[in-house]
Copies of this chain bind each other. A is one copy, B any other.
Amino acid sequence: MIKPRTPPGVMELLPRDQIAFQRMLDTIRRTFEGFGFLPVETPVFELSDVLLTKSGGETERQVYFVQSTGALEKESERLPELALRFDLTVPLARYVAEHERELAFPFRRYQMQRVYRGERAQRGRFREFYQCDIDVIGKDALSPRHDAEIPAVIHAVFKALGIGDFTIQMNHRKLLRGFFEGLGIEGVRQDLVLRELDKLDKRGADAVRDTLLGEDFGLAPEAADRLLAFSRVRSRDHDDALAKLAELGPGTPSFEQGRDELCAALERLRAMGVPESDYAINLSIARGLDYYTGMVYETVLDAHPQIGSICSGGRYDDLAGHYTKSKLPGVGISIGLTRLFWQLREAGLVDTADSSVDVLVALLDDAGLDHALALSQRLRAAGLNVETQLEPRKLAKQLQYADRAGIRFVVIRGEDEATRGAVAVKDLRRGEQFEAAEDELGRTLLVEREQLRAQG
């Protein structure tokens, strides 16, 4: 006998939690499609040489390699041929480069699949987790106007998920780098300073300031203070954002371009009807990756800042330089849904869902079986999810089962009701019972379902 268990670092859900998770996935997908993004799915594994174009680095050390039994037996010294994807960006780059001539640009794709990282096992860290990504990829060029579309999608997603107030925080890499230039910080030192900025939340301003003044960086105290003051800029509302950007004063060409694009994105976002309470500038946001070159986004739940960013991304100059000579600039974001779901549950913000089953058609005796089957089919044709009790049991047991399973309606056809062509309906959610004509039953229950949904 083998103990049934999952590997560490995966999130496996009981059905009613799975339903709650699935609803979040569906909501995200619907919203992505609403904004005209097209679905892509890629294989879980890529050829190792395709996946691991960069040598070394943290990511590569976390990669899972895949070998068939035959390959294992050969005990080859070479790297295994296949590896599990560790994000959806590298597969996207490979996909766009591979299918370049068959795609229309700007290419708008969404992808919602699991990715794999050999993380150290730790509470809240996952080795398998969903990412829900959107990207808009241009060929040769991509209008900066897409930079405003992305936060509008983020806004629609989190509104639809209904997990509380949130703020989409924005910054611009060119604004940051231009500001560094103005302080005399150039070249590779910019990258180092960017990385320090990224640590502000974790290490605190004092520690970061010490590092900046230390011998690796050698910033003058005044420059360090200006840098930290810059990084503290946050906006309260739309006009405040524009005013604070204006107050920064003149800067290098890169600085001015960044500011112009950031302002334009704010204006477009307002034109799309995104409430100004839901977005802000936050000039401390750097996003660690070298990859980003323009707008960067992070999203936080206002009541749960400790969760950190629940949706991040930005603008990049070249998606697929390893695979194609074409220049493919893009902008995108990613939601790590497994971690988010786990955190929302920990914070009590998502509940176990009701069952996806709307109706249990009860069975009182064997003679009623064929009728129960036929009635179930009619309710399904009306659009309801129906389970049929196939063996007669005490009614109390059937009600108890439905209650525990989170099934709202139990349909019972007693002798009295049958003579009238009617059934009794127990509404376990409202704690009510009513009678309904069989012919009307499907419609009646659908209306009840929609009413409750509309009430939220």
Binding site for B on A (CB under 8 A): 1-7, 10, 12-16, 18-19, 22, 33-36, 38-47, 49-50, 53, 60-70, 72, 80-82, 84, 93-95, 97-99, 102-104, 108-109, 114, 116, 118, 128, 143, 145-146, 149, 152, 156, 267-268, 271-273, 320, 322-325, 355-357, 360, 369-370, 373-374, 376-377, 380, 384-388, 390-391, 401, 404-405
In the complex, are the beta carbons of A391 and B268 less than 8 A apart? no
In the complex, are the beta carbons of B39 and A15 less than 8 A apart? yes
In the complex, are the beta carbons of B44 and A44 less than 8 A apart? yes
A400 vs chain B, min Cβ distance (A) = 10
A1 vs chain B, min Cβ distance (A) = 7
CA distance A43 to B128 in the complex (A): 7
A233 vs chain B, min Cβ distance (A) = 26
In the complex, are the beta carbons of A49 and B2 less than 8 A apart? yes
CA distance A401 to B36 in the complex (A): 14
A370 vs chain B, min Cβ distance (A) = 4
Q: Which chain B residues border A47 with CB–CB below 8 Å?
A: 5-7
Q: Which chain B residues border A42 with CB–CB below 8 Å?
A: 6, 12
Nearest B residue (CB) for A7: B47
Given contacts A1-B322, A7-B82, 16 further A-B contacts (CB under 8 A): A3-B323, A4-B93, A5-B50, A7-B43, A15-B109, A18-B41, A19-B38, A19-B39, A34-B380, A35-B380, A64-B66, A65-B67, A67-B80, A145-B391, A271-B373, A273-B377
CA distance A169 to B192 in the complex (A): 67
Q: Out of B16, B63, B82, B143, name the residue touching A68 (CB < 8 Å).
A: B63
- If A118-B68, A323-B3 touch, whether A149 touches B388 (CB-CB below 8 Å) is yes
